[in-house]
Amino acid sequence: MALPFQLCATILYDVEDCRTKRVPRQKLSVVLVDDQPLVCAGLRMLLEQDPAIAVVGEAENGRRGLWLVQQKVPDVVLRDIRMPELDGLAATRLIVADARLHATRVVVLTTFDEDKDIDQAIRAGAAGYLLKDIAPDELRCAVHIVANGEALLSPAITRRVMQRLRSSTAGQTNPALIADLTEREQEILRHIGLGESNEELAETLFISPATARTYVSRLLSKLAARDRSQLVIIAYESGLVRPGG
């Protein structure tokens, strides 16, 4: 089922989550794509302060970046959106469409915060959209969060996006989007739409975290959604979650 993209809501975390067990800290590989070599060098230095993160490649243009991703198959790609030779949106679409890269998560890291860029990046399949003024600890945390299957936006962007989401979905719902879900699956989807993590789902619904993960995986499959952010969109567009909660 193709998603009628309108706006994206996200599951938000802060740095404190990285200091707890809410965000798994597995060893991760990262490719950096930015047309400023100094930016790549700085990002590498910041990211590799976390021993669980390894930068496995850097590229100064979009085409080279795509080639690196295809060769290295990293867990996460941190990339700017406006790049020479192949822009970030086109490259993200190609990564998302490549079956060999199904587990690779793309995060836009940029200075551009225009609504159009944000919408197009999420539509293209980006798992996150962050601004370059992000704090070092938050950036390292973001890599782990995104690799864990969550979606992420910078806080300033989130406030704008959520306001637009509330405005755009008011009075415009499509219950047919969730017609094939069981009552329990709809309940799970509603809580995802409200911004709950797997651990919070488990606590709220009195199930184990493993069961929560199973439900989320099942919803992704049944709704043909790539990630949690698309589940949030469906929760709003189906009417399970109403503007204002």
CATH number reported for the structural domain that contains residue 223 in this entry:
1.10.10.10
Pair (41, 117) in one structural domain: yes
Question: Which position has the token pair 């790549």?
Answer: 40
- Is 37 in the same domain as 131? yes
What angle, 0 to 180 degrees and rounded to 10, lies between the N-to-C axes of helices 37-47 and 136-147?
A: 80
* 191 shares a domain with 114: no
97 shares its domain with 208: no
Is residue 184 within 8 A of residue 195, CB to CB? The reply is no
Q: Are residues 42 and 103 in the same domain?
A: yes
Q: Domain range for residue 184?
A: 171-237
Within-domain flag for 19:
no
The single-letter code of the amino acid at 36 is Q
The CATH number given to whatever domain includes residue 53 is 3.40.50.2300
Residues 111 and 205 both lie in one domain = no
In which element (H, E) is residue 106 found? strand 105-110
pLDDT value of residue 167? 61
Please give the DSSP secondary-structure letter assigned to residue 5.
-
202 and 123 within one domain = no
**pTM for this prediction:** 0.69
Query: Would you say residue 155 lies in a domain?
Result: no
Q: Which of 75, 81, 94 is nearest to 33 (CA)?
A: 81
Report d(CA 33, CA 88) in Å as an integer.
Answer: 9
Q: Are residues 193 and 94 in the same domain?
A: no
Separation CA 68–CA 75 (nearest Å): 12
Q: Is residue 140 part of a domain?
A: yes
CA-closest candidate to residue 127, choices 106, 113, 99: 106
Task: Give CA–CA dist 188/207, Å, rounded.
Answer: 11
Question: Same domain for 134 and 224?
Answer: no
- Condensed to tens digits (0 to 9), the pLDDT of residues 83-126 reads 999 999 999 999 999 999 999 999 999 998 888 888 888 888 88
In a domain, 51, yes or no: yes
- Would the pLDDT of 67 be above 60? yes
How many domains does one find in the chain? 2
Give pLDDT tens digits for 133-181.
888 988 998 899 889 877 777 766 666 666 665 565 555 567 888 889 9
Regarding whether 94 and 40 lie in a shared domain, the answer is yes
Same-domain status, 186 and 109: no
Q: State pLDDT tens for residues 212-221.
A: 989 999 998 9
Q: What's the order of all strands across the beta sheet hosting 152-153?
A: 53-59, 28-33, 76-79, 105-110, 128-131, 152-153
